[in-house]
């Protein structure tokens, strides 16, 4: 499909990046492409750490360098590391979504090969992404053979992304624990309406795994990541 996904650009101003976190390792290559790089933010620990694999939203001059400092501070304090990865910087058409999904797989392959070098526990992975980031990470979060413990998506799967495909078809009975967090209330005319999250919630219910899905809405921009650290701790630390 070649139709432009204009809304992913139109509503990208919702991104709540603010001050950028400083990575421990910057622009590490995970592939041969110009945009095949990632940043690593390592929490200090004597043991391998859980890791959040995060993809940014669309936006002018927004890249994987824009992982929010405030979000990193909360994760770091909880002993959780982060990988922020780059791909096609702004998704505007279906072919770019497909490339982003291929890059997601490449990132996960890289992680599976290099986790020991960075003191990361490859069996405690949480996938995250905002808007664009949720679109290119969603299929892999549900299917990739690395031991993914959960997924936390912000402003997830905006309206026009559904013209690429029906994302409910990516979900199976083995799909991970998942959170979707939205700034607006249900029924919002914003392109990032939580009504899109409700589609995913309904599919989880149909498959009998409703207890694995949580939808947060009406959080405002500042609250979008407010549940992330607690969620990662729950799915990676608690037994």
Q: Give the pair of three-digit tokens for residue 191.
A: 């392109």
- 115 domain-assigned: yes
Q: Indicate which CATH number applies to the domain containing 164.
A: 3.40.50.1820
**Lookup result for tokens 């947060």:** 216
Calpha distance 125→157 (Å, rounded)? 21
Average pLDDT for the chain: 92
First to last CA, the chain: 43
184-191: long-range contacts at Cβ-Cβ below 8 A with a sequence spacing of 24 or more? 184/217, 184/218, 185/217, 185/218, 186/217, 190/11, 190/14, 191/7, 191/8, 191/10, 191/11, 191/158, 191/159, 191/160
Q: What would the mean pLDDT of 186-204 be, rounded to a whole number? A: 97
- 24 domain-assigned: yes
Between 30 and 17, the more confident residue is 30
Q: How many domains does the chain have?
A: 1
* Continuous segment of H or E residues that includes residue 10: helix 6-10
Integer CA distances (angstroms), 127 to 51, 57, 145, 218, 226, in order: 9, 14, 13, 22, 16
Domain that holds residue 113: 6-236
Q: Give the pair of three-digit tokens for residue 105.
A: 């797989």
So what's the pLDDT on residue 59?
A: 85
So what's the pLDDT on residue 61?
A: 84
So what's the pLDDT on residue 146?
A: 65
User: What is the rounded (10 degree) CA torsion for 80, 101, 203, 227?
Assistant: 20
pLDDT band for 237, please (50, 70, 90 cuts).
Answer: confident
For the cut 50, the answer to whether the pLDDT of residue 4 exceeds it is no
For the cut 50, the answer to whether the pLDDT of residue 42 exceeds it is yes
- 75 domain-assigned: yes
88-141 per-position pLDDT tens digit: 999 989 999 999 999 999 999 999 999 999 999 999 999 999 999 999 999 999
């Amino acid at each position: 499909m070649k139709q432009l996904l204009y809304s992913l650009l139109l509503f990208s101003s919702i991104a709540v990046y603010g001050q950028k976190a400083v990575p421990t390792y910057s622009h590490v290559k995970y592939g041969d492409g110009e945009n095949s790089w990632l940043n690593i933010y390592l929490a200090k620990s004597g043991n391998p750490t859980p890791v959040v694999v995060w993809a940014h939203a669309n936006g002018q001059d927004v890249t994987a360098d824009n992982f929010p400092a405030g979000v990193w501070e909360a994760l770091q304090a909880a002993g959780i590391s982060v990988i922020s990865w780059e791909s096609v910087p702004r998704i505007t058409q279906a072919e770019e979504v497909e490339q982003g999904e291929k890059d997601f797989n490449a990132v996960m392959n890289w992680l599976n090969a290099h986790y020991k070098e960075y003191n990361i526990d490859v069996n405690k992975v949480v996938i995250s992404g905002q808007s664009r980031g949720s679109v290119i990470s969603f299929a892999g979060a549900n299917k990739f053979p690395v031991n993914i413990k959960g997924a936390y998506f912000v402003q997830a799967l905006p309206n026009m992304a559904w013209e690429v495909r029906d994302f409910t078809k990516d979900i199976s009975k083995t799909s991970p624990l998942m959170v979707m967090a939205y700034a607006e209330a249900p029924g919002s005319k914003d392109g990032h309406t939580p009504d899109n999250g409700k589609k995913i919630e309904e599919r989880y219910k149909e498959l009998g795994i409703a207890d694995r899905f949580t939808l947060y809405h009406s959080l405002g921009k500042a609250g979008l990541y407010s549940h992330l650290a607690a969620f990662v701790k729950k799915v990676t630390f608690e037994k």
